[in-house]
Amino acid sequence: EVQLVQSGPEVKKPGESLNISCQGSGSIFTNYWVGWVRQMPGKGLEWMGMIYPDDSDTRYSPSFRGRVTISADRSIDTLYLQWSSLQASDTAIYFCARHADYLNWYFDLWGRGTLVTVSS
Amino acid sequence: QSVLTQPPSASGTPGQRITISCSGSRSNIGTNTVSWYQQLSGTAPKLLINRNTQRPAGVPARFSGSKSGTSASLAISGLQSEDEADYYCAAWDDSLNGPYVFGTGTTVTVL
């Protein structure tokens, strides 16, 4: 079954670093852009950025550029979202999702989400 | 912060037809295709409509999308209780807001 499997929930303190992952089954990243979407508690969806795992070309939303790092390891079909210093406002569910094509850009495949809680 | 504006809520009784609007600008909806996502409570979003009007396999025909100028709409005909969810539009944005933007989201309640 084609799916995106995300890492488990995380509880961190402000200032700590964090790396969450999203692994694709099979070669579902080949020739696709894959992105991250944030959903803060009780709020809507926010597109954070995307990466083309085949060459690691990366694009960010202006709202998230410099605050997170998106990377990928093509050899194990895994996508990463990294923070160097978490803030309480980073508390949210983070979804990885695959952009279906680079003309229409809709997401055709989603992970189940990773809950990140940042609290002192 | 979102550049695509949706009404916060919409409601209807079972069997009714409701529509959800998504208002954007030339740099997003005016130039690029629109997709719609359904998010049931506590779950990941699911693709409902792509390329303005196309339903992926498995999406019921009671869901339909349209686009005109810088606005798009999602219609749900024959509303059912299982349609109670949050709905989001989205599009590529060619301006500095992008590259990809979601709508503000609409909560649909089945009365």
pLDDT band at B3; cut points 50, 70, 90: confident
Give the Cα separation of A85 and A96 in Å (integer).
21
Contact residues, B window 3-32, toward A, CB-based 8 Å cutoff: 32
Nearest to B44 among A50, A95, A100 (CB): A95
Q: How far is CA A33 from CA A7, A28, B49, B99, B104, in A?
A: 20, 10, 19, 12, 23
**Which residues are within 8 A (CB) of B94 and not within 5 positions of it... i.e. 6 or more apart?**
B27, B28, B31, B32
User: What residues in A contact B22, CB-CB < 8 Å?
Assistant: none
Mean pLDDT of B98-102: 89
How many percent of chain A have pLDDT more than 70? 100
Closest CA to B49 of B30, B35, B38: B35
The answer to whether residue B30 scores a pLDDT higher than 80 is yes
- Kindly report, residue by residue over A3-17, the tens digit of the pLDDT: 999 999 999 999 999
What pLDDT shows up at residue A26?
A: 76
- Kindly report, residue by residue over A14-42, the tens digit of the pLDDT: 999 999 999 998 778 889 999 999 999 99
What pLDDT shows up at residue A27?
A: 78
Query: Do A112 and B44 form a contact (C-beta atoms < 8 A)?
Result: yes
Distance from CA of A24 to the nearest CA of B (A): 16
Distance from CA of A60 to the nearest CA of B (A): 8
Beta strands B18-23 and B71-76 are antiparallel
Query: Do B100 and B92 form a contact (C-beta atoms < 8 A)?
Result: yes
pLDDT band at A102; cut points 50, 70, 90: confident
Mean pLDDT of B10-15: 97
Closest CA to A116 of A98, A89, A97, A79: A89
Query: Hey, is B103 helix, strand or coil?
Result: strand
Give the Cα separation of B99 and B96 in Å (integer).
7
Query: Do A118 and A14 form a contact (C-beta atoms < 8 A)?
Result: yes
List the single best residue of B46, B93, B100 to mutate versus A (max A Cβ within 10 A). Answer: B100
φ/ψ (deg, to 5) at B83: -85, -5
User: What residues in B contact A100, CB-CB < 8 Å?
Assistant: 50
List the single best residue of A52, A59, A70, A106 to mutate versus B (max B Cβ within 10 A). Answer: A106
